[in-house]
Amino acid sequence: MRFLAITDTRGRLVWISASRRGRSSDITTARHNDVIEQPREVGLGAIGDLGFIGLDDDPDDPVLVTGFKAAYARPLTPAQKGANKLLATERAACEDAFAHLKNRHILPELRLGARHATMPLRALLVLTNSEVAR
């Protein structure tokens, strides 16, 4: 099962997408859930990991900022390494929210089809937010 989650700048979970089959990629799941179009409509931006490279195709109005990936014949420049380091420090606060989700130990035990797993995931979002708020 694959799902996406969005956090705010303080590392609190804000949104969990509908679940998809585990074989779908991050980009396919993001396109299915309109992860780029909805923030663009309201003027928001996001930082993503390297799994989202190529998702945001509009260079004039970027919504999703991702790092740089090195190729075999083309290593990263020092400027690209610095940009990756800055993005990693910004994403570190958000990774705490994903750790709270994983601490529940329910995700590996969830044996539902992808279309039936969305409601328990959203309930998990509410439980995680109420526990973190205490």
- Rounded CA gap, 39 and 48, in Å? 13
pLDDT score recorded for residue 133: 61
Confidence of residue 33 (pLDDT cuts 50, 70, 90): confident
Confidence of residue 37 (pLDDT cuts 50, 70, 90): confident
| pLDDT over threshold 90, residue 32 | no
59-96 per-position pLDDT tens digit:
777 888 889 999 889 999 999 999 999 999 888 878 87
- Rounded CA gap, 19 and 3, in Å? 5
pLDDT score recorded for residue 85: 94
Taking alpha carbons only, the member of 91, 90, 102 closest to residue 128 is 102
